[in-house]
Chains A and B, each alone.
Chain A
Amino acid sequence: MFVLALRSIRRRPGRFLATLLSAFLGAGIMMTFNSMHDTAGQGGVDPVSSETLGTAAGVVGGYGTLLVFFAVASTLTVNVRQRTAELELLRCSGATPAQIKRMVVGEAVAVALVGAALAIGPAMLGGRALLDMFQDSGQVARSVDYSFGPVALLTGVDITLLASAGAAFLAVRRLTRGGRERAGAKRFLAGAALVTGASAAGATFLFSATDEMLMAAPAYGAILLSVGFALLSPRLLKGVLDRLPLSGASGWLAVRNLRERASHLAGILVSLILFTAVSTATLTMQSVESDAVKASGLVKSVDAKNLETLNLTVVGIIAVFVCVMLVNSLYAATTYRSREFGQQRLAGATPGQVLGVVAAEGVILTVTGVFFGTVAALAGVVPFTVVRTDAVLPDQFLGVWLAMVSVSAAVTLGTSLGTARRVLRTPAVGAVTLAA
């Protein structure tokens, strides 16, 4: 089965590009930050520098594992879903479910290995740049030398492999089990995340304005709330759709398509909600904090600087990953619909009307995702601002929010419309018979 896995990768490298990219980015980021452990572990590093390096590695390392898992899982789920026919053929030719599982997991592991190996070089350069940055800002002593050692290499490769194998296992199990989802467990998790998130955001009021940990509670609150919304996203989408009075053939079709495919589109909504919430909340709070420190005339402590660097890095990493996931799932989902577009055209839709349907779907998805992401972000930003300053809504919020919304809208609409335009170049009759 592993031989079959390798052969299927070699024949169609393009299909695994998104998975490879996720594994590469994940391994690269994890190795970059974990090499800080190696650097701190050398002899003669002072305790302050060592702590800074350790915190950076710990925080981003944890995030990184989760992100690799989600990114690889999302790309693999799309990949497996598109190969239903091929996997079905394998099953008909006598492959047991276990064999198919081994093949898909084998593919994922092979791709992850390649991704991790490719990431070693860039991670070394990235780690050196990161150390330079810490040294320039005075968070780490100049005398510390960069080291890329066993911790970086082992954690980077291991975590990427484990996350990929686990994600592949879940993706193929969902397929072979026929998509029976445990709705109850999911709803319970979503409820728990929402309640914990709301109480974390509420807990912000227990801190005083100058507490160093002040930002932690609302940030976690915002993240947990967005996870809760993300878990509920198919249901939220249906709720939005029921309240949409869309007229015109394109809008009519868009609403019906979305309603039918709500559970398939959950991945796209999850990315949108998490991206909007995490990036808007973190960036707004960070800029409120920086302005407050500047206004008070104090100089930032090393810890505060550390926190700022980390916040910005984490947001950057999340943004990149979410963009990869969004582009991949939208591209795959849209290419997959070639036949459906052909059928619409044969039923009398002009190419413009088909693009109109795709655009309407994109707008509904973006607005829904951004709306719930914004609610989660506000739940963190407002308590923080109330405690830290006297205002309720910081001036910085609008600017950050607009920037994040533009990125979401540009990525969502750009990918789906660009792909749809390309798909529409196939004549309608050809598009219908190709997939038949």
Chain B
Amino acid sequence: MFRSGARGNHDPGPASEALRLVKVTRTYGSAGNAVTALDGVTLSLGRGTFTAVMGPSGSGKSTLLQCAAGLDRPDSGIVCVDGKELTGGGEAELTKFRRGRVGFVFQQYNLLETLTVAQNTVLPLKLAGRRVDRKRAREVLTSVGLGDRLGHRPAQLSGGQRQRVAIARALVTEPRVIFADEPTGALDTRSARQVLLLLQEAVRVHGRTVVMVTHDPVAASYADSVVFLADGRPAGRMDAPTPDAVAERLAHLGDDVPAGV
């Protein structure tokens, strides 16, 4: 249903690395009380992978996602999405960079209340000035199980349904990388499972790359691999994660990385 072969003419051929971060540093606050959220993070994610980013609160996982997605600019270091380097510039330039390369799924859904499900889904296409293929939008919405809710407003949907609209909206532009920030943080276990299976399907069936920030070991176990983060630095990696192994690793994350060194 989301065939990558059906992409438009702006496809220069996918790069083998979907996302690459080199020595990315991000500091908040002024010189006196500066907080280093990211401390020289280097990371490389291949195409068609599903990666969870985990770490305790304040470990910099949300900052990592925002820097990688072009929502925030790092103080130093290089960010490449789909082989194209993210360079400085105003918000308008960053927005244009993100269009078509990056899709988002947030904990708070961030759907526009004034638009219907179908209108929310095609909004990124409208904003980017791309042709709006309503049939495809309906196909995508049907594939996330909302084919019968096209005319509903977000306020008429449950949390799980809203998050599936958000996933449809992220998929419809056929982005290289989908960034998900605690996508199941506000959902019950059943809705969370549906959302995670959809993200998994986007990777396995349609070849997208998904990066998901979470602090739920169960959510992380749906990913192919988990990258751990502590105090703004990478703190190991786990392939084929299970909930128990992830929880175990997370509990001892503070032991391996001495703070403040």
For B123, the closest partner residue in chain A by CB is A347
Asked whether, in the complex, the Cβ of B108 is within 8 Å of the Cβ of A347, the reply is no
**Of A49-57, A81-89, A425-433, the one touching chain B:** A425-433
Given A347-B127, A348-B127, A352-B92, verify A429-B72 contact (CB < 8 Å). yes
Residues on the B chain within 8 Å of A428, using CB: 71, 91
B114→A257 contact, CB < 8 A: yes
Give the one of A256, A261, A343, A351 with max B CB within 10 A: A343
Contacts of B113 in A (CB 8 A): 260, 340
Could you tell me which residues of chain B, from 3 to 57, have a CB within 8 Å of some CB in chain A?
none
Contacts A429-B71, A429-B72 given; indicate if A346 touches B114 (C-beta within 8 A).
no
Known contacts A347-B123, A350-B91, A256 near B99 by CB under 8 Å: no
Closest Cβ–Cβ distance, residue A433 to chain B (whole Å): 7
Nearest Cβ on chain B to A186's Cβ, whole angstroms: 24
Q: Does B96 touch A at the CB level, under 8 Å?
A: yes
The CA of A344 and the CA of B128, in the complex, are separated in Å by 12
A403 close to B (CB within 8 Å):
no
Asked if residues A343 and B71 are in contact (CB atoms below 8 Å), the reply is no
Instruction: Determine whether A252 belongs to the interface, using a CB cutoff of 8 Å to chain B.
Output: yes
In the assembled complex, which residues on chain B have CB atoms less than 8 Å from the CB atom of A343?
110-112
Contacts of A249 in B (CB 8 A): 126-127, 129
Minimal beta-carbon separation of B112 from chain A (angstroms): 6
CB-based contact B112/A347 at 8 Å: yes
Query: How many Å lie between the Cα of A436 and that of B114 in the bound state?
Result: 17
Report the bound CA distance from A249 to B130 in whole Å.
10
* Bound form: Cα–Cα A427–B70 in Å: 12
Residue on A with the closest CB to B95?
A350
Contact of B110 among A256, A353, A432 (CB under 8 A): A432
Q: Report the minimal beta-carbon distance from B114 to chain A, rounded to whole angstroms.
A: 4
Residue pair A349, B106 in contact (C-beta under 8 Å) = no
Chain A residue with Cβ nearest B73: A427
Say whether A388 faces chain B, with CB atoms less than 8 Å apart: no
B164 within 8 A of A: no
A427 touching B126, Cβ below 8 Å: no
Q: Mark A245-258, 1 if CB is under 8 A from B, else 0.
A: 00001001100110
User: How would you classify the secondary structure of chain A's contact residues: helix, strand, loop or mixed?
Assistant: helix
A427/B98 in contact, CB under 8 A: no
Interface assignment of A345: CB less than 8 Å from any CB of chain B: yes
Judge if B228 is at the interface, Cβ distance under 8 Å.
no
Question: B86 to nearest A CB, angstroms?
Answer: 16
**Cβ of A261 and Cβ of B104 under 8 Å apart?**
no
Give residues of chain A (324-372) contacting chain B, Cβ–Cβ below 8 Å: 340, 342-353
Partner of B108, one of A257, A353, A436: A436
Chain A residue at minimal CB-CB distance from B119: A256
Residue of A253, A257, A260, A350 ringed by the most chain B CB atoms within 10 A: A350
Please, which residues of chain A bring their CB within 8 A of the CB of B111? 343
In the complex, are the beta carbons of A348 and B99 less than 8 A apart? yes
Contacts of B123 in A (CB 8 A): 253, 344, 347-348
Is the C-beta of B207 less than 8 angstroms from some C-beta in chain A?
no
Q: Is B124 in contact with chain A by the CB < 8 A criterion?
A: yes
Q: Is there a chain A Cβ closer than 8 Å to B215's Cβ?
A: no
Closest to A436 in B: B108
**B115 within 8 Å of A (CB atoms):** yes
* A94-118 at interface with B (beta carbon < 8 Å): none
Residues in A lying within 8 Å of B, measured CB to CB:
249, 252-253, 256-257, 259-261, 340, 342-353, 427-429, 432-433, 436
Can you list 11 contacts pairing A with B, beta carbon distance less than 8 Å?
A: A252-B126, A256-B114, A259-B114, A346-B71, A346-B110, A348-B128, A349-B127, A350-B127, A351-B90, A432-B110, A436-B108
Instruction: For the complex of A and B, list the 5 residue pairs with the smallest distance between their C-beta atoms, beginning with the closest.
Output: A260-B114, A350-B92, A348-B124, A249-B126, A348-B127
Given contacts A252-B126, A256-B114, 17 further A-B contacts (CB under 8 A): A253-B115, A253-B126, A256-B115, A261-B114, A340-B112, A347-B112, A347-B123, A348-B95, A348-B128, A348-B173, A350-B91, A351-B91, A352-B92, A427-B72, A429-B66, A433-B108, A436-B108
